[in-house]
């Protein structure tokens, strides 16, 4: 047996606001950041579990404090026992009766649990010598069901229904794994479409996206209608009729405004409209979806937990479900959400970008394809070509596709040099310009 000997947290921030990478209608000047943790054990294998919460700057230190608040559930514990029962390990943290008050199951504390859960999965996959997607996709249906907490889900999905979904996918697992390794998984790119970019940059990057093989791009909208129409027209003219264009409002609108605005953009043939309003507004999204059909509503990157996703599926609030690797409580909760989506027959197209979200979330889509939905038609993983160089196993995206990672682990490990250079506020990347940055 081995014992967990350390839970180390870091506050890592990249000064992205300088270039307006990642700018949108609600997030004008993000500094992409990670509240990061490393789990160490006394095992002679020397393997570590790495995980993080993605944030956009201020408050990253609060998220790091929340991760540290969970250390008591790990330090000194038998590592094999925790990893052997990941369903139980998840419940131990999510159901901590005192910490639960701080959500429940939402916000800073829930995301912190997600980082810890993902770090444990990273360690478990490294010990198994498998990439996370393959580790998950080789578990039995019964083992996968045991990862999920069905509390608050049973009116929409029972353990028996989940088991049935997974069992139906077993016969095709091998064939789909082979297909995945040969073909990759489709991606789409948001790189051209940030609001802070000039029209010239938008057009140039849209053209490059098509040349790079992407079948879909995404544009940020919602700040100014005339700007949105002009930018969409330019993008459509650049990519032609066969490349899909999605738009993303980043929660900018109320219900009525969303409906009116989207109707103005619909002639440009939208793949979906993302985050039209508050991510908490199940009924609002449903009203928007009814009004703008057949244009599809997509949401999920800010949906707090599986209970809200459940309702969005029940109410028809979304036609594209966007999981995020670092918003809910980690792999286990995303497995629950993948099963809910499969039950309702809704395609899952993950949110990614940020810091490490591409590296992490690809494992979940690939697991979904092999062992849950069995589908990758009409499914794409978001891609932003940004900050991947800071990861030990960066994504391999070529020809508009994610190529399945083969390195053991969950993809979440940053380079040691990055953790030092971008440590906030004392790392070399910050120490010089810190006063200027803190001021804005």
Tell me the window of 151-159, 207-215, 230-238, 262-270 that interacts with a second copy (CB under 8 A): 151-159
22 binds a second copy (CB under 8 A): no
Q: Among candidates 383, 437, 423, which has minimal Cα distance to 34?
A: 423
Compute the least distance from the CB of residue 189 to a second copy, in Å. Answer: 22
Q: Reply yes or no on whether 351 is catalytic.
A: yes
How far is it, in rounded angstroms, from Cα 58 to Cα 404? 33
Which residues, including other chains, have CB under 8 Å from residue 46's CB and lie 6 or more apart?
A: none
Peptide bond between residue 425 and the one before it cis (omega within 30 degrees of 0): yes
Catalytic choice (220, 285, 310, 363) = 220
* CB neighbour class for 80 (10 Å; exposed up to 12, middle 13-18, buried from 19): middle
438 is a contact residue toward a second copy (CB under 8 A):
yes
DSSP string, 305-364: SHHHHHHHHHHT--SEE---TTTSSHHHHHHHHHHHHHHHT--B-----TTTHHHHHHHH
Backbone angles phi, psi at 84, to 5 degrees: -75, -25
Instruction: Examine residue 139 and tell whether it contacts a second copy (CB under 8 A).
Output: no
In the structure encoding, which two tokens stand for residue 356, read together? 């490490």
Q: Which stretch binds a second copy (CB under 8 A): 163-171, 193-201, 303-311, 330-338?
A: 303-311
Number of chain residues interacting with a second copy (CB under 8 A)? 62
**Is 324 near a second copy (CB under 8 A)?**
no
Using CB under 8 A as the binding rule, whether residue 91 contacts a second copy is answered as no
Q: Is 20 in the site for a second copy (CB under 8 A)?
A: no
Q: Does 421 bind a second copy (CB under 8 A)?
A: no
| Among positions 74, 111, 130, 358, the unique one binding a second copy when judged by CB under 8 A | 111
Tell me the helix, strand and coil percentages in the chain, rounded to 5: 45, 15, 40
- The answer to the question of residue 366 lying near a second copy (CB under 8 A) is no
Considering beta carbons, is residue 179 or 255 the nearer one to a second copy?
Answer: 255
* Contact between 89 and 118 (Cβ < 8 Å): no
**What mask, x for binding a second copy by CB under 8 A, covers residues 379 to 418?**
----------------------------------------
Please state, in angstroms and as integers, the Cα–Cα distance from residue 35 to each residue in 53, 58, 65, 92, 399, following that order: 5, 11, 9, 21, 32
Q: Is residue 75 involved in binding a second copy (CB under 8 A)? A: no
Q: Is 154 buried (19+), middle (13-18) or exposed (0-12) by CB count in 10 A?
A: exposed
Interface residue with a second copy among 4, 162, 262, 282 (CB under 8 A) is: 282
Catalytic residue among 106, 110, 124, 351: 351
- Could you confirm whether 363 is annotated as catalytic? no
Which residues form the interface with a second copy (CB under 8 A)?
A: 26-31, 55-59, 61-63, 65-66, 69, 72, 96-111, 151-155, 251, 254-256, 277-284, 287, 302, 304-305, 307-308, 310-311, 314-315, 438
* Catalytic residue numbers, as ranges: 220, 351
């Amino acid at each position: 047996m081995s014992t967990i000997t350390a839970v180390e947290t870091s506050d890592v921030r990249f000064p992205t606001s300088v270039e307006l990478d990642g700018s949108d209608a609600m997030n004008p000047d993000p500094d992409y950041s990670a509240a990061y943790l490393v789990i160490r054990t006394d095992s002679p294998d020397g393997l570590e579990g790495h995980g993080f919460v993605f944030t956009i700057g201020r408050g990253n230190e609060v998220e790091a404090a929340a991760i540290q608040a969970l250390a008591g559930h790990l330090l000194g514990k038998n590592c094999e026992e925790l990893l052997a029962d990941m369903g139980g390990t998840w419940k131990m943290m999510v159901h901590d009766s005192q910490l639960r008050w701080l959500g429940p199951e939402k916000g800073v504390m829930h995301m912190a649990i997600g980082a810890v859960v993902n770090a444990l999965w990273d360690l478990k996959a490294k010990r198994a010598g498998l990439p996370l997607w393959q580790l998950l996709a080789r578990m039995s249906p019964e083992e996968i069901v045991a990862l999920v907490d069905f509390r608050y889900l049973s009116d929409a999905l029972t353990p028996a229904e989940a088991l049935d979904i997974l069992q139906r996918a077993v016969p095709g697992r091998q064939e789909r794994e082979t297909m995945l390794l040969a073909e990759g998984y489709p991606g789409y790119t948001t790189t051209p479409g940030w609001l802070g970019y000039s029209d010239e940059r938008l057009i140039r990057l849209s053209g490059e996206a098509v040349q790079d093989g992407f079948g879909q791009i995404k544009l940020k909208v919602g700040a100014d209608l005339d700007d949105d129409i002009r930018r969409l027209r330019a993008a459509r003219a650049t990519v032609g009729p066969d490349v899909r264009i999605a738009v993303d409002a980043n929660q900018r609108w109320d219900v009525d405004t969303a409906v009116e605005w989207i109707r103005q953009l619909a002639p440009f043939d939208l793949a979906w409209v993302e985050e039209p309003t508050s991510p908490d507004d199940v009924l609002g999204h449903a009203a928007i979806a009814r009004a703008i059909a057949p244009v599809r509503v997509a949401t999920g990157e800010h949906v707090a937990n599986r209970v809200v996703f459940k309702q969005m599926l029940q109410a028809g609030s979304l036609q594209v479900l966007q999981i995020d690797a670092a918003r809910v409580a980690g792999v286990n909760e995303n497995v629950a959400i993948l099963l809910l989506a499969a039950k309702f027959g809704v395609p899952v197209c993950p949110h990614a970008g940020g810091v490490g979200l591409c590296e992490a979330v690809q494992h979940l889509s690939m697991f979904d394809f092999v062992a849950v939905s069995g589908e990758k038609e009409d499914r794409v993983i978001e891609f932003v070509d940004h900050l991947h160089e800071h990861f030990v196993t960066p994504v391999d995206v070529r020809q508009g596709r994610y190529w399945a990672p083969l390195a053991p682990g969950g993809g979440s490990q940053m380079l040691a040099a990055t953790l030092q250079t971008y440590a906030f506020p004392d790392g070399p990347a910050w120490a010089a310009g810190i006063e200027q940055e803190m001021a804005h």
